[in-house]
Structure 1
């Protein structure tokens, strides 16, 4: 330690070192202030960077002159000169954004390179670990190469800038440092082999890593470009052009980076092009653009994909589940993080339902400025529905009000985009998702919101399973999480993460939000029921039946999830009406050609069958994956218009021999475009041989909840009707009816209003309704939103039981009045 301090003291006594340290310190402080102000959009403080520029200009001019005039006396200041030149570059970049948004690690790498120069350039000062310094210098030197390469296009402007203001010199700085450092290395390193090897090893490791990364990116870019070229010859006018590309792209690390070109990662090849307006897209992809040196250089040798930004966004949504990133965002949320999560679960085994209440505390980083908008995406188990929303305003919980999705969105956009005040909104999305928005969140005003979801328990192997919710949002991984489970009745429960039984509840504390399950023994249906508005809603076992069904044709919906044996098992049935769709055309498949046909689907990630082209009473066999385009993304296509108008009447049956279901089949199933059944391969083959198809019995007054294998029926309430269940029974019934009738009400505004009223009554978020919290009652009035009156209102973990019927209310009132008068009379007699 004394040795190192001695070296530092010796070096600080050299001419100009102390003043250089002083200048570097102050310039660095002003540069960091300017960069921070720019990062957090605090524009009025960005001007402090000009102080750093002035200091650096004076210092650089003086020291350069001294080194040129008295080389031996001032050569030790070269590392200071390089460091301050680069500080000047970064300060100027605040005002003239050439590099745009550099990641923090780029600044750190540059700083480490400059610090290592202080050891490398002092030939008379050597330590036992100097070879480590040379290794670090070699590993960080490549960043100077990147800066020099990036600034080649502005070199002519830099010379003009030198003549005009002198600031143009900073455009030449990386190239000058590159030349100086290369000359130093060439002249001095060969004298010491260990230093030479250390420097070369550091530089080579980074170079080899970059080459491996670039090779992977180039290979993937060629694959995608080839897919685009091949599919450009297809003439399917019904589907958007990007779909055929999306169907053949397997999600991986490399093609995600390629698809984010110009959306997330800056492409330096076109950065200085004046034809940049063509890169604008109709859709939004949230997040700050990043100038990542590794990725930007690798882009230079990659093939052009031949996709515009809208196509890339759509592929990212369908193949990479980036739908949250493409949500319309009125304010950024880059500095937000989730501070606390409370996960409260109440399970009703007798009704095979659960209610989950999630409470989130959102905060901003300490250095953040201004208001930000938080957006969360909740992936729900199949059949689940959002049933409550609360936002804390000035420390008081305000509960959500249910209205049409159009009114809710309009009110939210008005208040957030124009008035900058407090709303929260929860919206239904396809594929068992909801999106929650909260505004504003800032450093002085952290926010808290709560939302609740009613979920069916899934039946698996004589057990009921509760699946936790998957949530995406601002930095959830470090949130302090408290989870609680309470079970009505005496059911035993087993969980996939550790819960401790405390005071009647199962409790767990953790970090972030874990994916976990709770399993319980399958309970018998005890006819739990809930009475509401003169009707009784009763839970019963689902009624499964097997109907006679001889398909007019059998369609194998092939993709790369299918195995050869699975396809072979169907062609061995010797059915004469077995077909596949290849490039949108129906083709017969048999024992002779099935292997050749399978090759056509080896890269197919998912398919979108033209259901409207199928014959009446067709049977589709699919093996679904987890991703695909959904109905929302296909909304403007002729394909979806034909699906909606020409599918439902065809009586198409679908067997899915996979345990997964993608967004397309999920919506087709929910909206009853097809009769859908999930089963094993063996069951499917057996049913085909017997000319049968399994169905769940339905009637106009009931809905089926397939995951939990129950049905909920609506009947007129009588005095003998039991009212012993949770109000979530009615909420699930209403959700099922809205989804069931959605196809019928597309062009019927009267019917549409009818089902909006049903959604309001049950307080459920559906394709036609949303929950919104506004700051004041006047806000609801101004936006034409009626507050909840005579509805179930927001669900609650502590208030979920039976609600008295009107005649029961009358008895309660009479009983209360009788007790009151009896109490008054007794009191008078006592006096």
Structure 2
């Protein structure tokens, strides 16, 4: 029987252990949660290690007094308290000597609750019976975890024994083994003394074991679904797997076919992230080969690690996993190529300045972002941002603060900018910043180096149309992905030009004279509404050309539609398909399912049900036999590969060969969103686009009247703003002081229009396109903005400042820069937010 006379609250050694555990846990969580600034993780580890060492001495002295040199008579409560202290010390040391990657949240809770149950076990005689059962249950669950960690650390035991003389640091690896032995001992005691407690412990061990088996089974099922797409496994496919295998597998890359059919759930995402974010079986004992180009903190998840060990070999390469994650799980930003890590960077301050011009139906936004490297003893790092622009918007400014001074960017070709940046960052490690155009109305910004000693600051300017929604104009704040901004201080100034009516601003904005001001915690996205006003009749003149804006009024033409092609995927509803069938049943309706198939009353249900299973679709426009008499009806959930992802495939070759030979195809979109694939084709004017509903579609088909393409060599159409921008020869009456943003918007959209179907060839970059982008100083597929440290750097890469261009845009109207008292408000806001910033500010 157990000794019921032992009272840990009256025992000196136990009380020392409890006090040390309380102090050690306090120091551990201060450092772990970054409650105060952390300059040196090792210093905080030393505090945990000192408490562990002190208690070891107290325990050994007590045992020597009572039992001499016999270590077998040390009370189990003392040993458990020592192991708890050792566990805190081990995980504190792990911050600097990385044996485990950052634990998943569930594992952190599992460890914490298991450790608490060990502590409560030391007081089991004073716990009510109803509480003892869950304590033993959790001890059993903890036993399984200790077993896992003991096996995981097995190859390091010899090293731990050999190197223990180095202040005993290597002995930390034996802590899980110590817990394992002690819980087995107490399990044996409970079996001999109180079997009901043993059964509770056994249930606690079995429950997570069964869950783990269930988890691994589901993991293996997903791996099997992936494997059947591989050519070497195709012959082993059976209908029981439930996966659609195309007969012709050579049109698209295998990873795209897999991405279309994989289950859309959290487990699939974790399967894809093994070896990218989560350590897999091949990395189980420290042979970590993580991909630097996936921008997410590396994590340790025992369930995933065991699943990869016990499941068949992964059928996907790291490259294929990365592409699927970018396509399906909104991880494209995280998959960008990196030259340096950025894991310890945060965005600490954001200043937004907006000029809104209702009579020109456009806005100019400047965002100034401050970057901090929170690992105070770490290396320099690279900050990468993705900015999401409104449709038709363009980057017109980039500047970087170097040695405390703002340095404006120069516009150059994308190839030169890329070469200069990679040479300086990858080889010479000096100051550059670059911004590149990306598909899907996005741009990427890179800033280097971001060091612990200096906060980096850069500014980006965007000219964008105001979206017209009935009789309202909508300004969309420019949002971004990049270094964590959740605790950043955020200030915004909004200036309305030429007056505005019926304003609706987000909560927190206050009017100050002729502007609106907001300050507080970071808000990723917000909108401003204003009543649509009459457009200005003034033109902007530059370089012998004049740029004018006017309302768009659709012009109709008669088009005979003989064939309708349905681009079906999971975004469609059954009701929509039925209505489209009713509307178009007097035409020939087709779908693509490995080949073009004509829909009939007998086959349509089966085909619809099959195509529903695809998360996204990539419609092969090259399969349309008579494009001028065809109509494509599409709907998208907003996910798909980008055009760049298709390069090199047979699908891409056929598409790129087909597009230049035909006029824009008519495409009706039944939703409010386009997939990245279709969005890029729309930007490049590959089709005559219309977002509509089924009633409008029925009217178009009935009358044969379809909207005529309003664009030509002198005109671009900004659909979201419902305006036309035209370029004509300048006259003496044109005003050079009118907004230069008219030229910038025209040039950007005109460059995209001229690139058009040639984007998919290797020779779309021409001198005339570069000259047009340079004239307006806009970032396009052929041009980028680049900041280098010295003039000699520009000369070395043959980058010259253009004399006949607009240069970088700016907030140039009077009063558009914050006044002194407004800067004071910003400073106060930063100080108020500092507590929240510091909590995140020193994460490693």
Moved more, 765-774 or 363-372: 363-372
| Structural mapping, 1:269-284, within 5 Å | 270-272=282-284, 284=293
Match of residue 12 from structure 1: 12
CA contact (8 A) 2:229 2:254 kept: no
**Worse-superposed segment, 634-643 or 152-161:** 152-161
Q: Deviations over 1:573-618 (max 9, x none)?
A: 33352211112x0101023322121111121122112212211323
Helix, strand or coil at the partner of 2:295: coil
In the alignment, which residue of structure 2 is the partner of 1:581?
Answer: 592
Q: CA deviation at 1:562?
A: 2.0
- Please name the residue that 1:829 is paired with: none
Report the CA distance between 1:443 and its aligned residue. 2.2
CA distance in 2, matches of 1:25, 1:564: 62
Q: Which of the numbers 624, 634, 654 marks the counterpart of 2:646?
A: 634
**Aligned-pair distance for 1:403?**
0.7
1:558 equivalent in alignment to 2:571 = no
Q: Deviations over 1:225-248 (max 9, x none)?
A: 667754566433231111112122
Matches within 5 A, 1:238-387: 238-249=251-262, 251-268=264-281, 270-272=282-284, 284-297=293-306, 306-365=315-374, 367-387=376-396
Q: For residue 186 of structure 2, what is the aligned residue in structure 1?
A: 184
State which drifts further: 255-264 or 56-65: 56-65
Of residues 542, 549, 569, the one that matches 2:579 is 569
Q: CA deviation at 1:398?
A: 0.8
1:512 shift after superposition: 1.5
Paired residues of 1:462 and 1:522 also in contact (CA < 8 A):
yes
Q: Per the alignment, do residues 785 and 165 of structure 1 end up closer, same or farther by CA in structure 2, a change over 3 Å counting?
A: same
**Alignment match, 1:720:** 733
1:779 equivalenced with 2:793 (yes/no): yes
The 1:21–1:599 alpha-carbon spacing in structure 2 relative to 1, beyond 3 Å, is same
> How many Å separate the matches in 2 of 1:140 and 1:426?
54
**How far apart are residue 393 of structure 1 and its match?**
1.3
Distance 1:381 1:73, change over 3 A: closer
Deviations 1:302-348 (A, max 9, x none): 77763222221111111112111011111111111111111221111
**Aligned residues of 1:428 and 1:434 also touching (Cα < 8 A):** yes
Unaligned runs of 5+ in 1: 1-5, 802-831
CA offset at residue 157 of structure 1?
7.3
| Cα distance, 1:204 vs structure 2 | 9.0
- Further displaced range: 99-108 or 779-788: 99-108
Q: In structure 2, how many angstroms separate the alpha carbons of the residues matched to 1:750 and 1:122?
A: 76
Measure, in 2, the Cα distance between the counterparts of 1:673 and 1:783: 35
Task: Give me the whole-angstrom Cα distance separating, in 2, the residues matched to 1:214 and 1:800.
Answer: 64
- The DSSP-based 3-state class of the residue aligned with 1:647 is helix
SS of 2:322's equivalent?
A: helix
Aligned runs of 1:110-259 on 2, under 5 Å? 110=111, 113-114=114-115, 116-121=117-122, 126=126, 135=134, 139=138, 142-143=141-142, 145-152=144-151, 155=154, 158=157, 174-188=176-190, 230=243, 234-249=247-262, 251-259=264-272
Say if 2:45 and 2:92, in contact at 8 Å, map to a contact too.
no
The secondary structure found in structure 1 opposite 2:555 is: strand
What is the DSSP-based 3-state SS (H/G/I as helix, E as strand, rest coil) of the residue aligned with 1:377? strand
Which secondary structure state, in structure 1, belongs to the residue aligned with residue 537 of structure 2? coil
Instruction: Note closer, same or farther for the CA distance 1:172–1:483 as it changes in structure 2 (3 Å cut).
Output: closer
Query: 2: distance between equivalents of 1:629 and 1:481?
Result: 33
Compared CA separation, residues 106 and 734, structure 1 to 2 (3 A):
same
2:233 maps to none
How much does 1:384 deviate? 0.8
Deviation per CA, 1:115-143, whole angstroms, max 9, x where unpaired? 6534423566x378x97698568547645
1:453 positional shift = 0.6
Could you tell which deviates more after superposition, 714-723 or 762-771?
Answer: 714-723
| Structure 2 residues not aligned, in runs of 5+ | 1-5, 231-236, 238-242, 816-844
Q: Report the TM-score, using the length of structure 2 for normalisation.
A: 0.81
Paired position in structure 1 for 2:823: none
- Which string of whole-angstrom CA distances, capped at 9 and with x for unpartnered residues, describes residues 205-232 of structure 1? 9779878877876776666566775456
| Residue 603 in structure 1 maps to residue 604 in structure 2 | no
Residue by residue over 1:71-93, the C-alpha shift from the partner in whole angstroms, topping out at 9 and shown as x without a partner, is: 55644421244236646865897
Mapped contact 2:44–2:92 kept (Cα < 8 A): no
- Counterpart of 1:506 in structure 2 is 516
Which structure 2 residues correspond to residues 729-744 of structure 1 after superposition, within 5 A?
A: 729-743=742-756
Matches for 1:754-773 after TM superposition, within 5 Å:
754-773=768-787
Question: How many residues end up aligned between the 2 structures?
Answer: 784
Report the aligned-residue RMSD: 4.4
Query: Following TM superposition, by how much is the alpha carbon of 1:789 offset from its aligned partner in structure 2, in angstroms?
Result: 2.7
Q: For residues 41 and 120 of structure 2, what CA distance do their matches in structure 1 show? A: 38
Shift of 1:532: 0.6
Assess if the C-alpha contact under 8 Å between 1:538 and 1:714 holds in 2.
yes
Match of 2:631 in 1: 619
* Pairing partner for 1:594 from 582, 600, 604: 604
Match of 1:456? 465
Say yes or no: does 1:644 pair with 2:663: no
- 1:705 is aligned to 2:696: no
What is the CA–CA distance in structure 1 between the aligned matches of 2:590 and 2:807, rounded to whole Å? 50
Q: Equivalent residue for 1:527?
A: 537
Identify which range, 429-438 or 198-207, moves more after superposition. Answer: 198-207
- Of stretches 439-448 and 694-703 in structure 1, the one that deviates more from structure 2 is 694-703
Q: CA deviation at 1:522?
A: 2.1
Matched, 1:672 2:685: yes
Task: State the shift of 1:428 in Å.
Answer: 0.8
Residues 333 and 372 of structure 1 are in contact (CA less than 8 Å); yes or no, is this contact kept in structure 2? yes
Residue matched to 2:445: 436
- Do the aligned partners of residues 528 and 164 (structure 1) sit closer, same or farther apart at CA in structure 2, a change above 3 Å counting? closer
| 2:825 equivalent in structure 1 | none
Distance 1:396 1:137 in 2: 63
- Whether the 8 Å contact between 1:530 and 1:723 is mirrored in structure 2 is yes
TM (norm. structure 1) is 0.82
Greater shift, 287-296 or 83-92, is seen at 83-92
Deviations 1:545-583 (A, max 9, x none): 222222353211111222233223333333352211112
**Most deviating of 23-32 and 259-268:** 23-32
Match of 2:827 in 1: none
Q: Is the 8 A contact 1:560 1:601 kept in 2?
A: yes
Q: How does 1:789-828 map to 2 (within 5 A)?
A: 789-799=803-813
Distance 1:251 1:369 in 2: 38
Deviation, structure 1 residue 49 = 12
Question: CA offset at residue 183 of structure 1?
Answer: 3.0
- Quote how far apart the aligned CAs of 1:674 are: 2.2
Separation (CA, whole Å) in 1 of partners of 2:155 and 2:541: 80
Q: CA 1:566/1:160 → structure 2, altered by over 3 Å: closer, same or farther?
A: closer
